[in-house]
Amino acid sequence: MRIRRTLFTAWVLSAALSLAAQTNELVIQTKKLGAEIQPTMYGLFFEDINYAADGGLYAELVKNRSFEFPQHLMGWKTFGKVSVQDDGPFERNPHYVRLSYPGHPQKHTGLDNEGFFGIGVKSGEEYRFSVWARLPEGGTAGKIRIELVKTNSNAERQAFATQELTIDSKEWKKYQVMLKPDMTEAKSTLRIFLASQGPIDLEHISLFPVDTWKGHENGLRKDLAQALADIHPGVFRFPGGCIVEGTDLNTRYNWKNSIGPVENRPLNENRWQYTFPHRFFPDYYQSYGLGFYEYFLLSEEIGAAPLPIVSCGLACQFQNTDPKAHVPVEELGSYIQDALDLIEFANGDTTSVWGRKRAAMGHPASFHLKFIGIGNEQWGPEYPARLELFVKAIRKAHPEIKIVGSSGPDSEGKQFEYLWPEMKRLKVDLVDEHFYRPESWFLSQGARYDNYDRKGPKVFAGEYACHGKGKKWNHFYASLLEAAFMTGMERNADVVQMATYAPLFAHVDGWQWRPDMIWFDNLNAVRTVSYYVQQLYAQNKGTNVISLTMNGKPVTGAEGQDGLFASAVWDGPTHSYIVKVINTTDKTLRVPLTFAGLKRQDELTNGICIKLHSSDLDSDNTIEHPFAIVPETTSVSVYDRALDAELEPYTFTVYKFTKSAK
Ligand code: AHR
């Protein structure tokens, strides 16, 4: 009798437990469409950190091509008789080299360029070598020999691609020749020999793959630009980040220096050269070869709304406590003018001063700029005092442009609390929030935006990433928590209108900051799990939020919600419902999805389930194993408007169904 009673109790208990499991039912209300999701919702943040521009997305393979680094021959090794001159043809880049006869027919004059951690070239591809040159003593036939060499080779010859160029004028002229290597080499050297007797002057020595993104000369690395396009980004922030501000105002990003002929764009110091002395890169400069024109063009080509951030006259506040480091409020005029001129450069018609410059570069049509950010991570009363003047001037000249202000470097706390009301007072359109935070923060912030003021400025989550505690590098669990947190952005799409993970790129040999979204070496690119998280959101962002609840509450990872985060959207053009669910726990969870409010004739068809999962929480994709963790798609069917989903531990799942009539 006692045994029977025990069995009965066990049965009741297990039935109760399974009932408890049933409470993970997610109810998706299909009847009413919620807030519109902005096309800008998920996008990109670009900053020239980690060799993201020169040595990265910008496809130039020669470092210090204009001899303007403070150590004029940095990146170069010279042999024979080479001297640096400073009266070259480009006013803002006056230095160049003179190659002279070494004094003996068996000796050689020339120079090697080391590229960015070597020069990466691929077998069978074409590379355009170009140079500005002249014969300083006149005459008609000087020669240089150009080679791609593998210096650590045991082969009979170090060179694996060779061409000659004849220099035929006393006047500066641009010359070019194609190199077609017959082997792939990640770390080759560019070698140039003086191949005739008289002296030859060389300036702006450049080597580009012909096969760049969209085939542009002065173009971008195709694989990296393609990775950006493949996200389907809605917005594209540029040029940063702290780089906007500069360590001092002289080294802030000056957009006007980044346009026009590349030969005459002056060099800028890159603050990420020395910001972290423990990751010091003395040869990190900005050629501005990837400048504002190239940025606007890329934005257009990948379908993202450009969002430039300009200096507000404050040098990096982390690095400058002396108020004299900043522009006094009453002297901000030229900075404000820079912002207005940038809008004109993007949108002005071809009769305007800056619109004409854009047209001269090859784009007479407007770039349709709609947003501008003033200042990066600024704080204190000195920021609103300056921002106010920008807001007034921009509103007056360009009421159509939306202005982004900043809430400082922290996701909460004193500055954040001070700046948000200030941003409301100044009536900016969006406020840039930054959060590089640990796991605990991401797990606790699922409801962050649920109670934000619906009447104030909108949110631009302009820089964020999960920085694992003691694990500040890319790994699956951190990315999973980013996905979990993003359900809260999506549910609050009436408030959060833009979000950009940061930073974007990192060279495996030259990084200063981790984690990053895309890693690369000289030949390959790797899309991290965080990349796929961003891509899954951007490609499945939908057009309207719809209500998704569990036991009547939004699913925010709150206590009693079994570590689940979820959101749902309707996508008008594809007529589909998209549900994102993240299981952040080590347990398999039964999570039935129920679609409420459908009409009798409605059917849910073409069901797919896209899953991003790894059983190794510390792993990520690498150059060696670029596809270790990628989204996997399977088909699923809904029975009776419900799907009995079972979520593996630590999984980000996207479900998508088309609504069709029977
Ligand atoms: O993304 C790296 C840096 O983080 C950005 O430059 C800065 O805005 C933030 O502090």
| 167-193 pLDDT, tens digit each | 999 999 999 999 999 999 999 999 999
| Ligand 1 and 47: CB distance under 6 A | yes
- The list of the chain residues with pLDDT below 70 reads 1-23
Atom index in ligand 1 nearest the CA of residue 318 equals 10
| Ligand 1 and 500: CB distance under 6 A | no
| Ligand 1 and 377: CB distance under 6 A | yes
Identity at 441, one-letter amino acid code: W
| Cα torsion through 258, 260, 266, 267, rounded to 10 | 50
| 404-422 pLDDT, tens digit each | 999 999 999 999 999 999 9
Q: Which residues are catalytic?
A: 377
Atom index in ligand 1 nearest the CA of residue 436 equals 4
What is residue 661's predicted lDDT score, i.e. its pLDDT?
82
Atom index in ligand 1 nearest the CA of residue 244 equals 6
| Ligand 1 and 241: CB distance under 6 A | yes
Query: By C-alpha distance, which of 285, 305, 303 is closest to 347?
Result: 305
What is residue 17's predicted lDDT score, i.e. its pLDDT?
44
Which structure tokens are listed for 457?
């400025």
C-alpha 503/C-alpha 514 separation (Å) is: 8
DSSP assignment of 23-64 equals TT-EEEE-SS--SBPPTTSEEEE--S-TTSTBTTTB----TT
> Separation of 520 CA from ligand 1 center, angstroms?
20
> Separation of 507 CA from ligand 1 center, angstroms?
17
> Separation of 172 CA from ligand 1 center, angstroms?
41
What is residue 21's predicted lDDT score, i.e. its pLDDT?
45
> Separation of 370 CA from ligand 1 center, angstroms?
23
**In contact, 650 and 582? CB cutoff 8 Å:** no
Going by DSSP bridges, is the β-strand pair 235-238/305-310 parallel, antiparallel, or unpaired? parallel
| Ligand 1 and 49: CB distance under 6 A | yes
Q: What is the 3-state secondary structure (H, E, C) of 579-597?
A: EEEEECCCCCEEEEEEEEC
What is residue 13's predicted lDDT score, i.e. its pLDDT?
43
- CA separation, residue 269 to residues 87, 274, 572 (Å): 22, 10, 47
Residues 6+ apart with CB under 8 A from 154: none
Residue closest via CA to ligand 1's atom 8 equals 241
What is residue 534's predicted lDDT score, i.e. its pLDDT?
98
Residues 6+ apart with CB under 8 A from 331: 313
486 three-class SS: helix
C-alpha 648/C-alpha 292 separation (Å) is: 45
What is residue 3's predicted lDDT score, i.e. its pLDDT?
45
Enter the pTM of the model. 0.96
C-alpha 584/C-alpha 632 separation (Å) is: 18
What is residue 662's predicted lDDT score, i.e. its pLDDT?
75
